[in-house]
Structure 1
């Protein structure tokens, strides 16, 4: 997910994180088949804010890189 460009959307495929972190993110909507959009990055480039399930959540690159997404084409977003 960390590779999504700002404004790009994707569908979450899998999460490969320690159970505690994975469960916490899943409670916030980061589940397989959920749509996520990269909204903005901090001035230094990390963290990135993602929109999911009506919320905005900031995740560091080290966490987001373990969430696999299938990027949507412009017409699908």
Structure 2
């Protein structure tokens, strides 16, 4: 079952399966936010935005509106 990146829980790892490249900043794509890479949610900011992920050995902060443009599958379900 696919989810949005913004829907995974802290500590979960998910495989990126699709990215809306028209809405994702180029910098995130360069940092590895691409299909085939694993993303792990580390923390959510106190007000719920942004989300802190480890993607492709990089720590990145992604706003919720951008995380909604990334489709993932939980690691144990692929």
Per the TM superposition, whether the score is higher than 0.5 is yes
- Kindly report which structure 2 residues correspond to 1:1-77, keeping only aligned pairs within 5 A, or say none: 1-18=5-22, 21=25, 23-73=26-76
Asked if 1 retains the 8 angstrom alpha-carbon contact of 2:24 and 2:69, the reply is: no
Helix, strand or coil at the partner of 2:7:
coil
TM-score, L = length of structure 2: 0.84
Unaligned runs of 5+ in 1: none
Aligned positions, number = 74
TM-score, L = length of structure 1: 0.85
Describe the shift of the 1:6–1:20 C-alpha distance in structure 2 as closer, same or farther (beyond 3 A).
Answer: closer
Which 4+ runs in 1 deviate beyond 3 A?
none
RMSD: 2.0
